[in-house]
Amino acid sequence: MLIHNDIYAWEGWGGKLRLGSGSCRLLLYDLGKSDDTKKGVVHLKPFIAVISDIPESEMSVKSCTSHIATCVARDFRIDHHRMVWVEYYPASAYGKKKPHLIPEKFEAVEFEWHEDRAVHPRWRPLNPRLEEILRDLMTE
């Protein structure tokens, strides 16, 4: 079910300048390989990509999400029509003694696709049922 759990580096554009290049944490799931499939459950979008920022990267996933989605679909040979794209932001605390908490957040991202390139991302809250499934998958 989990087909990738590692740092994913994407190349930018601009030749040697490598503008927009960076890396992120990528979790890639294929629900088509789950026990549900053996029980006759068919997933219309079996691939779930979950990306999140890493401290070492100078680029945020939010700023490059279209480019990252294009690269992931190409590199893993995934039909973008069959993929759900999710940005994950873990909980974080801030302030002098960290009294303030920003709760974790899952955001679904939908794209328009032109010639196998993701463009015009639109963010929305993740479906609560899918968020529950992802929480379970991510704790395994």
Instruction: Please state the separation of Cα 60 from the chain's center in Å.
Output: 12
Q: Give domain limits for the chain.
A: 2-139
Predicted local confidence at residue 39, as pLDDT: 55
Predicted local confidence at residue 15, as pLDDT: 66
Predicted local confidence at residue 95, as pLDDT: 83
pLDDT, tens digit only, all 140 positions of the chain = 899 999 999 887 766 666 778 899 999 999 887 665 455 556 678 899 999 999 888 889 999 999 999 999 999 999 999 999 999 999 888 888 878 888 999 999 999 999 899 999 999 999 999 999 899 999 88
Predicted local confidence at residue 98, as pLDDT: 78
Predicted local confidence at residue 40, as pLDDT: 52
Predicted local confidence at residue 86, as pLDDT: 97
Please provide the DSSP assignment of 39-98 as one string.
Answer: TT---SS-EEEEEE--TT-SS-HHHHHHHHHHHHHHHTT--GGGEEEEEEE--EEESTT-
Predicted local confidence at residue 75, as pLDDT: 95
Total-model pTM: 0.86
